[in-house]
Amino acid sequence: MAENENNTNGQEFKKISIIMIASMVILLLVFSAVNYVVVKNLVQKIEITAPADEEVAEDGDEEEIQKGIIVDLGDFILNLCDENQRKYLKVNVAIEVSKKETDFPAQDAAPAKGGHGHEEAPAPADPMAAIQTEMNQYKPAIRDAVITNLSSKTSAELSTAAGKELAKEQITNDINSILGGEREVLRVSFGQFIIQ
């Protein structure tokens, strides 16, 4: 009788083992199928959205990052508007202004030789020197706008990233009004930025 019970227990153990292995195989197959479908759909979505983004960029609907001309305004040492303590700000400010079509004339437009072919044409003027000269006429007013803007802030306002971005935005608006449409400020950059 004890042998019959051992055989019955052994057969039940084999049945349970076979059922467990079969269920694991079925779960593995189901998991693999679901994984395959999800990955396949995800790859298709990526392939579908990628050409749409390229078409927008080709049409020019999205704004490209415009590169301009950097004008260094130099270092500023300012009193901040803190009431309790006297705080100072030492900052280096540079602005990036838009280019004009006339800033960099095409090199192939100038002839290589003079009118009769005997003399060379004079070397074209340095376009960067001309731009710097143009911007120098605005520099005192621009520096005043930067000083006025930053000295009206507290150290707490300028200690945060949001405060610095707000100051940059305000400086951009102030300088754009000074330039009067001649050029546009694309970016304001702070080099050194120390509050003491």
Residues of the domain holding 37: 1-64
102 and 14 part of one domain: no
Q: What percent of the chain has pLDDT over 70?
A: 71
Q: What's residue 6's pLDDT?
A: 67
102 and 162 part of one domain: yes
Q: What's residue 146's pLDDT?
A: 92
Residue 18 lies in a domain: yes
CATH of the domain at 131: 3.30.479.30
- The answer to whether 100 and 183 are in contact (CB under 8 A) is yes
pLDDT tens string 166-196 = 999 999 999 999 988 888 889 999 988 999 8
142 and 83 part of one domain: yes
Q: What's residue 13's pLDDT?
A: 84
pLDDT tens string 29-82 = 998 888 887 777 766 655 554 444 444 444 554 556 667 788 888 999 999 988
Structure token pair of residue 97: 């202004």
174 and 78 part of one domain: yes
Residue 117 lies in a domain: no
19 and 83 part of one domain: no
Residue 119 lies in a domain: no
6 and 81 part of one domain: no
Write the CA distances from 167 to 60, 75, 87, integer angstroms. 30, 16, 17
Write the CA distances from 2 to 5, 9, 10, 56, integer angstroms. 5, 11, 12, 81
* Count of the separate structural domains present in the chain: 2
Residue 23 lies in a domain: yes
Instruction: Flag the least confident range among 47-51, 69-73, 141-145, 153-157.
Output: 47-51
92 and 14 part of one domain: no
Q: What's residue 57's pLDDT?
A: 47
